[in-house]
Amino acid sequence: MNKSLQQFEFTRGDKFKLELLLSVTRNISKELEIDRLLMKIMDEVKKALDCDRCSVFILDAEKGELWSKVAHGEKEIRFPSNTGIAGHVVETGEILNIKDAYNDSRFNPNIDKKTGYKTRNVLNAPLRNQKGEVIGVFQTLNKHGESFNKDDEELLTAIAVLSAGQIENAQLYEEQIKTFDSFIETLASTIDARDPLTAGHSKRIALFADLIAREADFGEQDRRVLRISALLHDYGKIAIREAVLTKETRLTTEEYEHIKDHPKFTKSILERINFSRELRNVPMIASSHHENVDGSGYPNGLNGNEIPELSKVISVADVFDALTSRRHYRDRMDFQKVMHLIDKDASIKFETKYVDALKMIKLDKILNIMEEDVQLLDKDKEMLAEISIRDLLSDKDLKNSEKWELFLYYYQPNITGITR
């Protein structure tokens, strides 16, 4: 009876491990964002091994450090790659099962001292790339009620193999993303360099648009498409005549019509870039930021749902930045007037919900974008982080309020003369 029961438990345990590995494999095939993937894997491993915490440490060969890509209970941890139990695994490439951490000379207690955590036992497995090189360590801590056993070692080794391949792929993907983003930012900067009147405009638009998108609960992928579209929204100005683009006096009718061609040029140029599938709508989104929801915009007179949703966000961010930016010939527009003009065009030029989302943004975030070179005082930042644009403008005695005075100190210091 006992023998058959033991056999049943063994079989059930093998089935559980197989199901876990299949689950991990399915997750890897579906999840592209490595941090979310690894956190999901760690949660499953934590449950399967009945332990307290899991961490994935990545080897930074250039700095000679191990750092926590993801970890239960802690923010990023960094330490020399030749120290501690994880460091030993990197050097030897072997799985390491420590039943009593503080009685093992390889254990580095400084991490516990730094985090306040108490490590009892540890199971570490190396992460290897396709060349067989160690690129990190999968670590589990404090098995409940006992020490890690041989079954735990086999299971963690198998999961480490699956995780390592995905980490390597993700690192390559992240490098490609960084290269592409750098290319996009360089393209955007060429417009700012050509038109000194609007220097920094494309970058600010992207930041303002992202804040609006966050308040409107956009997903991460939509925010990435939005950021790239916003950075490139004025790229067609590269085809605008220099004399018209940089003219400081009022434009003639012919010159204004020429300027209005820049969205068409934006679309035409961006359509020549081989965007990935998830970014395929960037040319249309970037070139539609002057379309109005009532159909009165340009270049195509689109209205309502004909306008890409992300373009509507860029439209609000674009006007907000234009009205609140300094020019060499004028200071920033009065902020109440800025918001009055934007409010007036809600449901005419702008989608009302994105105007509302703009008003929900906290003042510290707004000022950080407007004043990139200015550091908010800590006490001021704390107060401004509690106040949204809506809060600021809803004060009945606005001109005499402390929060209005504080905001103006950073927004229009040359006019207010306020000192702090």
Tens-digit pLDDT profile for residues 342-374: 999 999 999 999 999 999 999 999 999 997 767
pLDDT exceeds 60 at position 11: no
Contact 38, 163 (CB under 8 A): yes
Greatest mean pLDDT among 15-24, 234-243, 289-298, 376-385: 289-298
Q: What pTM value is reported for the model?
A: 0.77
Show the tokens assigned to 181.
């983003």
Rounded to the nearest 5°, which phi and psi values hold at 71? Answer: -160, 140
Question: What are the tens digits of pLDDT across the range 193-236?
Answer: 777 666 789 999 999 999 999 999 999 999 999 999 999 999 99
User: Which residues in 352-366 are b (16+ Cβ under 10 Å) and which e?
Assistant: ebbbbbbbebbbbbb
Q: What is the pLDDT of residues 109-147, one digit of tens each?
A: 888 888 889 999 999 999 998 888 999 999 999 999 889
Q: Please report, for the chain, how many H helices and E strands are present, in that order.
A: 19, 6
d(CA 356, CA 78): 42
Supply 15's token pair. Answer: 């089935």
pLDDT band, very low/low/confident/very high, at 165 (cuts 50, 70, 90): confident
